[in-house]
Structure 1
């Protein structure tokens, strides 16, 4: 007698392992969604300038790498056909790209018609940088203004012995033991206008008024070095250092007392180890006052300056910021033996005398 299949024609055979595959699919969806949410949160922090405190502030320094990660994650989400996470990742990548990509596109004034200054800044790592190499770089590049950070008296002695005083005979010396000192050196006469740093733990940020031959008014140079945002306890010092930086127009509080010669000009150059990238809202606030980054004028705003030889990906925390009326003829980043920072060099032209 023939057996009859009583399950009917529409019966479906159970698929071995089907439940396992469904669980795996759900796990992948959850994972991709969490990744998308993470990148979206990072993009929101950057886009709206919402970073507050540690560790968000140091994390924002790696925004260019986050853009690369968001693009890779979006590609993976597309291949996995997770449409909602894909849309979120594409939006996050777009926000980050708007912030990052312009730094790689040359834009700005290359020449302003006035005298030329060749500006160099370097964090000498508390004396670790090779003094002879620093002086050689000043000589070879024809540097006329040098801003140094983490300068000790011993560093200045070594630089002097290597011949710096012959090239840049004028100095505003705010050197100090350890990593707290800074200085400004120039081929032209300098006047010490004091220090922007406040507090016993602050790093020196000397202001110097420079008399430029053939120019009607002095130009102020600041050697910039706020505290690094390495721990929760350093955040106030980091933020305070950046907020102490004067705008380029000479009109804000703290720009100088009545009779200060800088009140007759508005030209300032901020050069140094800012311990901040252009992804930090605090540094963008400085730029919004009327400065431009010399690096971005030549599309080199993503060139890393720190750390050299470290385990972290390179970030751009050393800058030369100039009054927006100045021209930037060239920009260069150079490695110096013994320092964990690269030197930054900019050829700057002042606007025609006003």
Structure 2
């Protein structure tokens, strides 16, 4: 495509939405406009790729926006195509690098990764956000029974739900309800010894043939306001590390974070594996669900994080009636003693 002659109509390869700015303009102005249009269109993807690749701890609202990185990756070819149409080679190259960087972060989630050769007993862990006490508790218990769940972590547990969780299915319980969204609980087939946690309980239990297992229910505030974002970051930083010796550690809950948040990746670097990511299910969304499924783009914010000595055999994500989150069920193989 050559330069548009002075006073002529813009060529067919120029997008219709910028032709009005080119009509009747001189060739040099047309070139400048093409460059400006290509650069301005590409900047959001380039900035997003830099933010994701460098692992910058972004302030609100960027910390909330970073959760939507998969959608930035899916649309990242758009600025490359536009730059090629406008013949802005440099912009196309930089945009292409950004697209590759975003794809490099996304693709591994769909591929099962290497795992340890754990030879201990099987353990099934499930996490379910109860949506401010609205979730159908019998349905939660039914799903847990169908999947032979050994330990259940629940979040947004309200006091009114406690009687419904009094069941022989999980005879051992640490339930810390709250009138707001902070309540949480652990329910287990194995005896639980509480080891702390205010409204995010932590407990130790023993499975024959394996080291003691230490599990914590997780539910930090979502980073959706200027005030909440620092609290969310501090809550993730305060979660215990796993040193790969002694007790086997498991964190299960609604982290209000995706694998694109550097804060969650930093936690993984402290000795954990994301169960869904390990089995190639990292793209499976957990929120929103049910009645809220049409109100927001799907995200993966509920996780089961396991000690790096644990082998993840399977991850299943299940809808729970009347909850805005899907439950995550991880079938694990513990290390032997």
1:139 to 132, 139, 145: 145
Matched residue, 2:256: 275
Matched residue, 1:340: 324
Provide closer, same or farther for how the CA distance between residues 287 and 16 of structure 1 changes in structure 2, counting only shifts above 3 A: closer
Q: Partners in 1 of 2:34 and 2:295 — Cα distance?
A: 31
Range with greater deviation from structure 2 (14-23 or 107-116): 14-23
Runs of 4+ in structure 1 displaced over 6 angstroms? none
Give the structure-1-normalised TM-score.
Answer: 0.84
Give the structure-2-normalised TM-score.
Answer: 0.88
Q: Partners in 1 of 2:257 and 2:163 — Cα distance?
A: 29
Q: CA RMSD in A?
A: 1.9
Matched residue, 2:60: 54
- Structure 2 alignment gaps of length 5 or more: 11-21
Range with greater deviation from structure 2 (307-316 or 143-152): 307-316
Deviations 1:204-240 (A, max 9, x none): 221111121343x321011011110010010121011
1:74 aligns with 2:80: yes
CA contact (8 A) 1:128 1:339 kept: yes
CA contact (8 A) 1:110 1:329 kept: no
- Structure 1 alignment gaps of length 5 or more: 1-12, 198-203, 251-263
Matched residue, 1:201: none
* SS of the residue 1:127 aligns to: coil
CA contact (8 A) 2:116 2:308 kept: no
1:123 aligns with 2:104: no
Range with greater deviation from structure 2 (30-39 or 17-26): 17-26
Matched residue, 2:14: none
Q: Partners in 2 of 1:210 and 1:153 — Cα distance?
A: 25
1:193 aligns with 2:199: no
1:284 to 265, 272, 282: 265
Range with greater deviation from structure 2 (280-289 or 77-86): 77-86
User: How far 1:177 sits from its partner (Å)?
Assistant: 1.3
Matched residue, 2:233: 239
Matched residue, 1:178: 180
Q: Partners in 1 of 2:142 and 2:30 — Cα distance?
A: 61
Matched residue, 2:13: none
CA contact (8 A) 1:183 1:223 kept: yes
Deviations 1:257-281 (A, max 9, x none): xxxxxxx823100010000111111
Task: Give the greater-gyration-radius structure (CA).
Answer: 1
User: How far 1:73 sits from its partner (Å)?
Assistant: 2.5
* SS of the residue 2:126 aligns to: strand
Q: Partners in 2 of 1:238 and 1:79 — Cα distance?
A: 43
